[in-house]
Amino acid sequence: MQKRKALILKSPREMCFQEETLEALEPNQVLVRSVLSAFKHGTEMEGYHGSSPFLKRSLDHKLRIFLDNTEDVSSILYPGTLGNMTVGTVEKVGSEVDSLAVGDTVFGWLPVADWHVSSADKVYPLDGLTPEQALCIDPANFAIGGVLDGDIRFREKVLVTGLGAIGLLAVQYCKLHGATVYASSSFPQRRELASKYGADVVLNRKDYKDLGLAVKEMTNGGVDAVIECSGYYIQLKHAMRAVRQCGRVVCVGFYSGGATDLNLGEEFFHNRLTLLASLPDAYWNNPVRGETPLYPRELHKLIIEDFKAGRLNIEGLLGPAYPFDQAKEAVEAISENPVDVIKVTIKY
């Protein structure tokens, strides 16, 4: 029987490696040996810091409304795995699997662990993708989702805030839609990548006391849309100040806690702004807006086509890479040194 070691979050800021013996393969399953994994920085940091809003309130999936938890739900998050995408090699296939063979390189939404047992229909052949491109399908999904939800158009002026992996890919998708792109970050490495990926104007947020006012002045009235990827309310405030009258603000970042930095009685109300949430995620069963709603599976196909055609550039986006036995240090780096990391990977 195959043994597996996985990175586990036992409680906020407490991690360990947990070993277990994997069950024998079911007929429709495959055994995958990990080669490369990546973390989901924003969402996973909520759990790591113990600040996840789901500890207090949860979505009623039938009514689509958040309600107070009536019991302790911490067991949903703790203990739990860390990491959300893995590329690996198929080492064994179940008796009914005919879509994959031993030796195939595959990717899937799998955590940081050295081995995985997965349903064959939950992992996908690279089929011409590099392992690094496969790991970037997840952030690209939210980037293209924000651009489609925001209906970004040719020659529009767009500001992208929060230049993590999602924001940097959003810069590229805005350019692919023919927009003039302004990009803002206080981190030098991310500003350099934004320029490399085609941003027309790159701003150091710390150079401006009022970023929204600065953007309004340099664009003669504001940008047409903002793709806000940071998940910080202060950035959302600047986004609403930066956009023109009747403009659009697309919220891609995940916000938690009270919105103490927002005043909806100012620009939002008087400039008649459209505030949009973008979350094309399979778990939440959300498509992107449009005449033909696109769900994550359809978006993934578009992203893979863009990677294969060379329309998306991820050079410099991934890193640093940590060996598997230093996975705990990798998570600590994401938490404590965000200026030095964009999308951390684990090599096995």
Domain 3-136+317-347 belongs in CATH node 3.90.180.10: yes
Question: What pTM value is reported for the model?
Answer: 0.95
Assess whether pLDDT exceeds 80 at residue 75. no
User: Structural domain boundaries of the chain?
Assistant: 3-136+317-347, 139-304
Assess whether pLDDT exceeds 90 at residue 291. no
Average pLDDT, the chain: 95
pLDDT of residue 185: 97
SS3 for the chain, per residue? CCEEEEEEEEECCEEEEEEEECCCCCCCEEEEEEEEEECCHHHHHHHHHCCCHHHCEEEECCCCEEEECCCCCHHHCCCEECCCEEEEEEEEECCCCCCCCCCCEEEECCCCECEEEEEHHHEEECCCCCHHHHHCHHHHHHHHHHHHHCCCCCCCEEEEECCCHHHHHHHHHHHHCCCEEEEEECCHHHHHHHHHCCCCEEEEHHHCCCHHHHHHHHCCCCEEEEEECCCCHHHHHHHHHHEEEEEEEEECCCCCCCCCCCCCCCHHHHCCCEEEECCCCCCCCCCECCCCCECHHHHHHHHHHHHHCCCCCCCCCEEEEEEHHHHHHHHHHHHHCHHHCCEEEEEC
Q: Which of these CATH numbers, 3.20.20.80, 3.40.50.720, 3.40.50.300, 3.40.50.10680, describes 139-304? A: 3.40.50.720
Assess whether pLDDT exceeds 90 at residue 250. yes
